[in-house]
Structure 1
């Protein structure tokens, strides 16, 4: 039996963070599998892993010894490295813990227990409209369990055990509170992530480490997601890693699982990488942990469409549109993935592009870098994905009135908003115009169901083509043509004049045009336009005006 720990110091805190990171390395794929919808964007575990990876690295390298200063470093690194909604909520949990431990060299079990209660409170406040049956329900259960244990003056290991037990009870209830979870037969993924975090803290505190060795950033990998494409690995990806510090054998082992045609050329603190892959975002996410990335180049071999990313690996600045003067008054930051959509967004006037979207949620740090290094004094951010809105909001908290956000949740909304942008107008006028423009857009997307699911009492088998609107499955079919036609019919009405189709990386231009032609035959009164989007996972993004 482990001895009771009545006083927690900096060394204990380091072990807790290391244990939590270790636990996420072991469990993040399981957390991803709890995705409530059968679409290929289950990345809650990955977002929390990457966020905690930034924390673990900062805490491991920090010279601080006191628990208060270490917890502040943990909170700061989490806020900058937060990815996705789950990562932002986790960062706020750590921020609350830091508040409770502020100024302390050591802390009693009761003081640390109260700090964790602060953390849960901060996590709850991070969400503008809390919904029961989510991570927040589990957070409340954890807080109540910790509160009871603190009142009973238990050792901190026992406080954690009670918090975990109470959280697990609430986690079991989430399917009863949220019908979508019950229909999918899963518990809430974010809530499961909180349980993993606490369990990992307990393991670290007691010195119980299991699973893959945590290397605080150097072994971070994002599981490769198979792309729906005509060739297995359509993206020729090349980049240079400077200040290369990782082991060559480990890098080779990771990359061999993510593609083929791998070539590694190592020099003095430099590594040149060439790989053909279905998921270049996963390759780059892994490579960030090996050093600094330069000269990134991604070619879509299926469509012979070339996209070169310059400067920052995840933030690219507009070179296609008319150049903005040095430090213009106002510019747009838009988050989007897919070579074609990046080009379109630039041509419409986005001043800064941050590469991201489904399964590739950019961290808060990318927004910070874009603002500090970009071409304007103030910015309007278009997240273009519901899972990126909180990270953008966190950036605004840090940057203040230099940033405004229009909470677009899909690419068509973002395209409509940026089209209404006028750099000659004041910020408030642009916000009004862009908000009105994005609200008029009706949109959906077509993808492949990654698992069996129940939708309105009917079974949608894995492998079906599904039409998704605002995060829910609206239509499904056995064929791509059928799903596209059903989605277009669902979205159109008597006033519809145009449908824009943005085809993804897995479709050839000829195939996309043929499907558009079949759709046009059934919707003869509507103009249909086809554009190369290049987005992963989704065969079509559909915008209706």
Structure 2
């Protein structure tokens, strides 16, 4: 169906987001399958789905509003719900769209088209080192297509169609730009995700809802992650004050001691309040004096969100500097705590925590400032987004694996200054030789060889360097490549699928193979990765 639509309103925007979420529910597993790297972290589609799910929930539950206010609400939700690098990039796309629609009740097709161009620009800026052949190549193609259609005064459905066509052209070029994609015979997963987003927006705009019914409770995370939550202000309280007769400054003065995450939005005789608090009744009692109360909504966030954050139970008085570390597995959690991390957020491969979890950790922790250790390359962008939101309250040591994180936290000194700690922790993690051992989840090409699905693979710096159908053989070859001359210690952190006996047997094999090298074994408990290895 072709629309001759010149003006887009909030209802149209709501339909577009619903359509995009439905498209991701339908396509996310296919997007996951495009990840060329054979390790079990092919979660681009899942991360984008979960990020967009936060947006769709917020926009669907929002009171009727103009396109600008809905876009802003969606963008805010995307930033807090962003998971993994692909989710952060998608959140920035939505942030740019919201900027382009700011203050608008309705928008012309050209204005919405330009807002989408803003979105692509923001998404591109989110990546520090853009690489051609990735999601960013597709984003540039989409921007060009959108610009052409806007220039031709097309209806917005036609603008989206042209953006999709131009994006697909660039998507089909990605295997020529990245050899890994060409070898695997696939296109870029993130780029495919952008096409799915735009196609879903078009489906929603035209009323063509295809796919499963929306399920905002969908988590798609790994079972066994910690579900317990500790929040100082657990009640998300929202309401509208009509016939608003108080001053905004007075409202802020009254509310600030009563909670956090406060948002106040004023209109013509109306005030919208959002605040996290421990005492919603006291807030409503105060608000009665400001006008008449409407659309009161109180949610217990402990019931609403499946948190993976664990807080140390000691001293709750805020002071000094502390560490937030991301790891998966009971053993690694215990080790990180023993070495001095105050807050552990459960996550890693296939389990990328949303930005909101880091923000909640900082708000509800015991320290004035925090150093974040992502310990995974797919969490570094999310940590950077936390830094943008919280400013000087956080700093990042961009660790990309667990051994780096362990070295960094070992160098942490709570009595030192932030700058001193950043220097020491960065230097400590930079000197770590680390590797991981897992099972290939798909056939892949590595250095001209076919690595079959089900084989054990050794990964160093994001590259598969060895493989074997024997776990012991793969480990020995991996340590041989990693150790080099002068190695004196190998540390093995064994995962959930290995027993202590099996791990000690593998360690004994290494001891016999490498004379003069000590081998230590630790229970990590991490999923998917039988072994994480560091060499000193």
TM interval, short-chain normalised: 0.7 to 0.9
The TM-score with structure 2 as length reference comes to: 0.85
1:543 matched residue in structure 2: 534
Runs of 4+ with deviation above 2 angstroms: 235-240, 290-294
Residues in 2 aligned to 1:153 and 1:63: alpha-carbon distance in whole angstroms? 31
User: What residue number does 1:12 align with?
Assistant: 12
Match of 2:310 in 1: 316
Equivalences for 1:95-106 in 2 at 5 Å?
Answer: 95-106=95-106
* Matched residue, 2:135: 135
2:183 alignment partner in structure 1: 183
CA pair 239-411 structure 1, distance change in 2 beyond 3 A:
closer
The equivalent residue for 1:222 is: 220
Name the counterpart of 1:39. Answer: 39
Q: Give the SS at the match of 1:401.
A: helix
Secondary structure in 2 matching 1:328: coil
Match for residue 414 of structure 2 among 397, 418, 423:
423
1:377 paired residue number:
368
Q: How does 1:390-409 map to 2 (within 5 A)?
A: 390-409=381-400
CA contact (8 A) 2:92 2:126 kept: yes
The partner residue of 2:339 within 348, 362, 365 is 348
Matching residue within 448, 462, 473 for 1:471: 462
1:2: how far off? 2.9
Partner of 1:126: 126
CA distance in 2, matches of 1:524, 1:455: 30
CA distance in 2, matches of 1:466, 1:57: 39
Extract unaligned runs of 5+ from structure 2.
236-298
Q: How many residue pairs align between the two structures?
A: 468
> Is the 8 Å Cα contact of residues 37 and 184 (structure 1) preserved in structure 2?
no
Cα deviations by residue, 1:122-155 (Å, 9 ceiling, x for unpaired): 0000001111111000000000000000000000
Tell me if structure 1 keeps the 8 A contact 2:181–2:188: yes
2:326 counterpart of 1:328 = no
Residue of structure 1 equivalent to 2:212: 212
Q: TM-score, normalised by structure 1?
A: 0.83
Using the TM superposition, give the Cα deviation of residue 183 of structure 1 relative to its aligned residue in structure 2, in angstroms.
1.9
- Deviation at 1:223? 7.2
Q: Deviations over 1:504-526 (max 9, x none)?
A: 00001101100110111001211
Q: Residue in 2 aligned with 1:172?
A: 172
Instruction: Answer yes or no: is 1:448 the counterpart of 2:439.
Output: yes
User: Is the contact between residue 48 and residue 90 of structure 2 (CA under 8 Å) also seen in structure 1?
Assistant: yes
State how far apart, in whole Å, the 2-side matches of 1:390 and 1:314 are.
19
SS at match of 1:407: coil
> Cα offset for 1:470?
1.5
Unmatched tracts of structure 1, length 5 or more? 226-234, 244-289, 295-310
How far the C-alpha of 1:328 sits from its partner, in A, is: 2.3
Change (3 A) 1:424 1:223: closer
After TM superposition, list the pairs within 5 Å mapping 1:216-295 onto structure 2.
217-218=216-217, 220-222=218-220
Corresponding position of 2:517: 526
**CA RMSD of the aligned region, Å?**
1.9
Change in 2 beyond 3 A, CA 1:69/1:437 = same
**Which residue in the other structure is 1:269 paired with?**
none
For residues 340 and 526 of structure 1, what CA distance do their matches in structure 2 show? 24
Q: What is the CA–CA distance in structure 2 between the aligned matches of 1:221 and 1:499, rounded to whole Å?
A: 37
Alignment partners' CA distance in 2, 1:457 and 1:469: 17
- CA distance in structure 2 between the partners assigned to 1:237 and 1:401 by the alignment: 28
How far apart are 1:493 and its partner, in Å? 1.6
Contact 2:228 2:309 in 1 (8 A): no
How far residue 3 of structure 1 moved from its aligned partner, in angstroms, is 2.7
